[in-house]
Structure 1
């Protein structure tokens, strides 16, 4: 944590106020005691005037006798002055020691009190850190008196309720819209294919039909990606044991023709890895990574697929250099790099789906540029 924490500031404030009040009380106590102790000279003079000679039967003592002995008066005054000075000095020393001890105790108690006071704020902070679009069910549910912190926690919970409703509505809209768009796209593709099947079709019309089929195919891939993204963002309805190593091996085998056409060598090293999750979503995760690694590569390049315990999956590929500051944007929907890595056939949902599926399985997906180009994508999954 950078800077001074709020708890330390509150503790310093409590300790400082206690020390200030203690110093004021010590000063007041010193003044009162000093005022109650008599002045030595006036006390001796008063004693000399009121001394009772009958209290000393063996010797006659009178004010006149005492007043007539200035050395005795001086001795008495000095003794009383030393007594007063010693008393005040002892009072001051012991008060300072007691103030220091109680100040230390006040700081310790202030730390404990500040921790208890700030506990609801720590709960709010922890909840906010764990909160995500795919995990909106977390709440603070602060139990305590109806004070400002209780009001803050309840307000935060209310805000999360509204956000959860908004996110759920958005996900349902994307899923429903994507599903509804699949049918007209399929109809359009069929109509274009039927029209192009006519042997008398003109060359310019055939060229236009090919372009329409290309655009239609890209739109269908984008719609399919949106459906998968919406499904994974809503979390897993059910889980089952899935062999990630078998899925990865199957994807590598099915991608061999694509890799050969692109002039890319694909290799895999898989070890047994069991995951609790959705086999369809996990297959899409591996497929997106492998296809991206092949697509954004160069002829004569390579793709390595590793499956293990932790991380669960690592896909490396050769290819153009990827700027480090551009890597985080690759996981955002519809975001692609400009230049050589931009491919108009793809909508930019590949890594977004990878991250969403990984998070739905209690894991993470991260990427970093390769030393000699390409990308290294690391996926960690819950057991």
Structure 2
């Protein structure tokens, strides 16, 4: 049964129940005033009071009419109350991936329907942002993957089209193609890591951020301030988070070339912080650097460099672990990146 039908029965049942109680009272009083058998009746002048059978028939007729009226009123009232819900349902059904910009727009209602519409509008806004980010990501990923493929094909075509090409020329072309292939491999690994972290489907186990940071650093020259920082999560993803932070700090540095990695517990929360020297980063550019395939100055694919996915992967892993990511430009250049669990 529909919600409108259920509400109608609820209203009608309550209405008829009250009517039955009101009708039952005079019936009860009438039955109590009927003389017992063998009791002499007291004659009354011109008595015109209806007997119990007549009262019962009249009461049942009134109760049946009340039931009809209650059902009609309940149907009309429930329809009126549920009209905003039907509007919300119809609009939500019409909204799809192609028109997520639409909103329910149930305004002027400070009640449960208004709250429901506000929650759904917020959901549609987040879905629209997610779909738009996905479209940008797919477009950028296609560009990043197509660029080295085009370069590889060009190198091989030039080498094969040169009739005077020597073995050294062909060997050099092959080395360039291998370098481009390695760049593609790094990009695909980064994309797989990003997809795995965004899915959120991974086991959670006790880990120490200090140990993961130490293993991710390897033999790179960094300043370490590692104290125990216990948390729970996926060890492989968290190691990738630390490695991407360090790689990003190494890649985007300057002649000062210092990197500081610290772990510990502050205010009862474990943290991992990576700071580095480097070029000055305008505060307005920080949010853009967290998006896929974005680098300072608008640079794109660089052979042997990055793809603009380092901080994106860090943000995705932090979000999957419900950690806070804070990226702050240093006044003297470089970044302070802190992940708090």
Q: Which TM-score tier does this pair reach, normalised by the shorter chain?
A: 0.5 to 0.7
Distance 2:282 2:337 in 1: 14
Q: CA deviation at 1:151?
A: 3.3
Q: Normalising to structure 2: TM-score of the pair?
A: 0.52
Q: Contact 1:334–1:349 (CA<8 Å) still a contact in 2?
A: yes
Q: CA deviation at 1:354?
A: 0.5
Distance 1:251 1:338 in 2: 28
Secondary structure at 1:304 match in 2: strand
Matches within 5 A, 1:225-240: 225-240=190-205
Instruction: Say whether 1:284 aligns with 2:249.
Output: no
Q: CA deviation at 1:162?
A: 11
Residues 164, 301 of structure 1: alpha-carbon distance in 2 compared, 3 angstrom cutoff? closer
Instruction: Say whether 1:269 aligns with 2:228.
Output: no
- Can you give the 5+ residue segments of structure 1 that lack an aligned partner in the other structure? 1-146, 193-199, 257-264
Aligned partner of 1:369 among 293, 304, 329: 329
Instruction: Say whether 1:326 aligns with 2:300.
Output: no
Distance 2:283 2:259 in 1: 20
Instruction: Say whether 1:248 aligns with 2:213.
Output: yes
Q: CA deviation at 1:149?
A: 3.8
Q: Contact 1:312–1:380 (CA<8 Å) still a contact in 2?
A: yes
Matching residue of 1:151: 113
Distance 1:336 1:228 in 2: 19
Distance 2:261 2:276 in 1: 9
Secondary structure at 2:307 match in 1: coil
Residues 371, 330 of structure 1: alpha-carbon distance in 2 compared, 3 angstrom cutoff? same
Matching residue of 1:215: 180
Is 323-332 or 287-296 further displaced after alignment? 323-332
CA RMSD of superposed structures (Å)? 3.7
Distance 2:130 2:329 in 1: 32
1:68-110 Cα shifts (integer Å, max 9, x gaps): xxxxxxxxxxxxxxxxxxxxxxxxxxxxxxxxxxxxxxxxxxx
Residues 341, 223 of structure 1: alpha-carbon distance in 2 compared, 3 angstrom cutoff? closer
Distance 1:210 1:365 in 2: 39
Larger Rg: 1 or 2?
A: 1
Distance 2:312 2:278 in 1: 20
Q: Normalising to structure 1: TM-score of the pair?
A: 0.47
Matches within 5 A, 1:35-114: none
Residues 339, 164 of structure 1: alpha-carbon distance in 2 compared, 3 angstrom cutoff? closer
Higher helix fraction: Structure 1 or Structure 2?
1
1:250-281 Cα shifts (integer Å, max 9, x gaps): 122x142xxxxxxxx41111111111100011
Secondary structure at 2:327 match in 1: strand
Matches within 5 A, 1:136-215: 149-155=111-117, 160=123, 202-215=167-180
Matching residue of 1:348: 308
Secondary structure at 1:293 match in 2: helix
Equivalent residue pairs, number: 208
